[in-house]
Amino acid sequence: MQTPTTRQRLPLRRPPGLVLAVACAACIVLGGCDANSVLGAHANTPRQSTEPVREGNFITVPEASPLRTQLQVQTIVEQALERPIEVPGSIEADAAKLVKIVPPLAGRIVRLHAALGDVVRKGDPLFTLDSAELSAAQGEAGKARAALLEAKLNLDRQSTLFEAEIVARKDYEQAQLAYSQASSDAETTAAHLAQLGAAGTAPSHRQYTMTAPLAGRVIELEGAQGGFWNDTGAPVMTVADLSTVYLAASVSEKDIASIFVGQPAEILLNAYPGKTVTGQVRYIGEILDPDTRTVKVRVAVDNKDGRYRPGLFAKVIFAGEKHPALLVPPAALLQSGLYTRVLVEKAPFRFEPRVVTTGAHADGQVEILTGLKAGERIVVKNGVLLHD
């Protein structure tokens, strides 16, 4: 049991403010230091900033910033660029090797010698008509030949009588005129039969056979056997040689200077995705379409296997002429509203955003038309981390 005289000593607790005041006093007395410096040392030291600093039109990355390890900077050099020109188009048949077979006279189709899709050679029969018009034309030709023979006999007779001074000169001259007229009529009717392809046929022959004017394939058939065809302006069938077809492309006015005859072209058909067809420019249109401001360019395509059918839609890429250009990766371009910018390095980790205009895309690179010069260094990766 404790007595009043034997009190237990407890540890003395002083207020923190008193300890600080004593320390300041001791520092002043012993070392002559300033109390404010002691208080400043006791305060928390501020952390160094790691955020990019914008100064006017420049952006600086602080030394402690982790962005320094993420940004990739590259020197821009001039390279040869072959600017591709991409335009839509469609497959067309060669107009010089496509014929619509129109009969020159009306008649009933008594026989079809070729069906849709058949391959024909030049001169092969296509269809036969039973035509009263052919019979009438042959009759007219026969009358003209008979009239010519009669006029010839009369001229010979009048010539003999005139030489014997039995008939007047007037009768002899009339016989000459009649012969001349009959000769002209005979030539006209013969030419008509020749045009129909019926020269030399018998006068009573009513059937007319239409033949193929070129080798190819029957790609359209409108007439049927037994039907009467009285429209001499409409084709019964169409024969075409599709071993070579054309891609007709509409090239914009601004790209005309880059297109030339013999230029290679790559064609991508909607019907055959992933398959590239090659061809060459065969013809460049002479007239600019005033509505679309385009020129028709025709590219010859080998079609011996018959896969490329007229009417197919396609996309054609023309290989432009090579020219020096500045190319940058797409990741270097930063979109800001209506403008495209890049970050140009002016000093280590000090960048200037600059507006540029872009051109063609080729091999994963983008052409820079204005805003950059060869030898400048730009951020090509993670520049978006500095872009606000």
End-to-end CA distance of the chain, in Å? 79
| 277 shares its domain with 223 | no
pLDDT, residue 199, reads: 67
Digit-coded pLDDT (tens) for 300-337: 999 988 889 999 999 999 877 778 889 999 999 999 88
Which CATH number is 117's domain given?
Answer: 2.40.50.100
In the predicted model, residues of the chain with pLDDT beneath 50 are 1-33, 35-46
| 199 shares its domain with 143 | yes
Which CATH number is 305's domain given?
Answer: 2.40.30.170
pLDDT, residue 48, reads: 59
| 235 shares its domain with 116 | yes
Q: Is 356 a domain residue?
A: yes
Which CATH number is 185's domain given?
Answer: 1.10.287.470
Q: Is 22 a domain residue?
A: no
| 200 shares its domain with 259 | no
pLDDT, residue 11, reads: 44
Domain count within the chain: 4
| 314 shares its domain with 258 | yes
For residue 279, which of 301, 262, 257, 310 has the smallest C-alpha distance? Answer: 301
The answer to whether the CB of 224 falls within 8 A of the CB of 109 is: yes
Q: Is 8 a domain residue?
A: no
| 109 shares its domain with 226 | yes
Q: Is 3 a domain residue?
A: no
Digit-coded pLDDT (tens) for 173-189: 999 999 999 999 989 98
Which CATH number is 348's domain given?
Answer: 2.40.420.20
Q: Is 47 a domain residue?
A: no
pTM > 0.85: yes or no: no
Residue numbers of the domain that contains 189: 132-205
Residue 115: burial class (beta carbons within 10 Å; 0-12, 13-18, 19+): exposed
Q: Is 354 a domain residue?
A: yes
| 74 shares its domain with 189 | no
| 63 shares its domain with 160 | no
Q: Is the dihedral of CA 229, 232, 234, 238 positive or negative?
A: positive
Tokens of 96: 């010089």
| 301 shares its domain with 251 | yes
Strand order in the sheet with 228-229: 207-211, 125-130, 107-112, 228-229
Match 């030291």 to its residue by tokens.
45
Query: Quick one: DSSP state of residue 197?
Result: T
Q: Is 45 a domain residue?
A: no
